[in-house]
Amino acid sequence: MTMKRRTVLPLVAGLMVAGLTRAQPAPRVIELTAQRFRFTPRVIPLKAGEHVLLKITALDFPHGFFLPDFDKRVDLMPGRAVEFALTAPGPGKLHFLCDNFCGEGHEGMDGYFEIAKA
């Protein structure tokens, strides 16, 4: 149970950022993988205001997942999905990146949400 509670912590942090409440419908689940030196998928289309639950699995290294515009992040655990909740802000690009130095291609390990009008 302790491990499970830890896993949920980033989700709670994400909810605080996103303003998601329990009264809202279940978020769409999006699965990502993090592998030196790329996120897959790297570009994720969303709609403004859409609630999503990211399930991010590191494959080879304890990468980080960092949303600089929200100043929120989570450490990823190799081989285990880490959850991060998000409500898409207004239309535009919302960047994310690995913020745990993981080697020579680290600076290029990033991606973004392509957020369209609702």
Partner 1 sequence: MTLQRRDFLQLAALGGGAISVAGLAGCATRPTPADEFYFVQLSDIHWGFNGPPNPDARGTLPKAVAAVNALPTPPDFIVFTGDLTHTTDDPVERRRRMAEFKTMIEPLKVKTIRFLPGEHDASLDRGAAFHENFGDTYYRFEHKGVHFIALDNVSDKGTTLGAEQLAWLKTELATLDPKAPLVILAHRPLFPLVPKWDWHTRDGAQALELLMPHEHVTVFYGHIHQEHHFQTGHIAHHSARSLMFPLPAPGTAEKPTPLPWDAAAPYRGLGWRGIEIEHGDKASLTEHPIGAQA
Catalog residues that contact partner 1 under the rule CB under 8 A. 62, 64, 66, 68-69, 71, 75, 95, 97, 99-104, 106-108, 110
Backbone angles phi, psi at 95, to 5 degrees: -85, 150
Rounded least distance, CB 79 to partner 1, Å: 18
Cα–chain center distance at 5: 18
Nearest to 51 by CA among 74, 81, 30, 36: 30
Rounded least distance, CB 51 to partner 1, Å: 24
Rounded least distance, CB 29 to partner 1, Å: 26
The nearer residue to partner 1, 53 or 109, going by C-beta atoms, is 109
Nearest to 72 by CA among 99, 46, 52, 51: 99
